[in-house]
Amino acid sequence: MAEQHIFQGLSVALVTPFNEDLSIDKEAYVSHLNYMIDGGVDGLVICGTTGESPTFSDEEFEYLVGTAVEVSNGRSKVIAGSGSNATNKSIKRSKMAEKLGADGLLIVAPYYNKPVQEGLYGHYTAIADAVEVPLIVYNVPGRTAVNILPETIVRMAQHPNIIAVKEASGNMQQIEQIIASVPDDFAVLSGDDAMTLPLIAAGGKGIVSVAGNEVPSRMKAYTDACLSGDMKKARSLHYELQPLLLANFWQSNPIPVKAALSMMGRMENILRLPLVPLDKKFESGLRDILDELGVL
């Protein structure tokens, strides 16, 4: 049996709760970390897109990652979203995360600057050279305006410290090409909840999930069923969860998931600008889905 990858299974991109004054709601944050860990999630992705990472100061980043390491205490892997569109800033945050005890780093492709493939390769290898903690490359062209091509991922996979990719291109042909071309010890993870089943069936090793914030134990059961090849159970959970997986993207993530967690009584529905709360026209539909899943 193949050895399990350090980032195999279900990782959840955590939502960050805020108070009315837009400071971090520390009590709700610790409660949410415990909700994830009690739900059996394999990894906690802190300060990712879902956590509203572009709005954090270094002090807030330090608090969020450090607290996750402390609360987790080895029960779930802690993966810090330390990427930026400036390589030196990414290195600084990555070193902070390493010092705080993170198990891994999630590094988003540089956004806005639109680097060419050689620039992407240089960016990731510079970060990987600067730390000892392993890296997950995050390819999300819909947010970054740049697509990391399969051949670039294959080149990066030669670096001993670059050990996985979170693929959110939505292009299954591209994802399959990556899976077919990288070494067995390099993990391809889904960056899109709705593609968990096909991606793992094609040889992927897991998911970095948004829906895990709402239904951690069910997403864990779904991911495990996909990984173990229990297709009957995997398909059943895929269709049961699908309305929620799609609803989480009715508006820009994390707008819907934060509204859902507010309806569930887990945190206030407060976002930092430029994000705003869910449009009221979506509220009843989202509530119906949560009611159907029995989480209200």
**Catalytically active residues, by annotation:** 138, 166
Distance CA 258, CA 188 (A): 27
Token readout for 179 is 């899976």
Helix axes 216-228 and 231-247, enclosed angle (nearest 10)? 140
Whether the ω angle into residue 110 lies within 30 degrees of 0, i.e. cis, is no
Contacts of 74 (CB under 8 A, 6+ apart): none
Distance CA 183, CA 180 (A): 8
Identify which of 88, 216, 82 has the alpha carbon closest to the alpha carbon of residue 136.
Answer: 82
Distance CA 166, CA 155 (A): 16
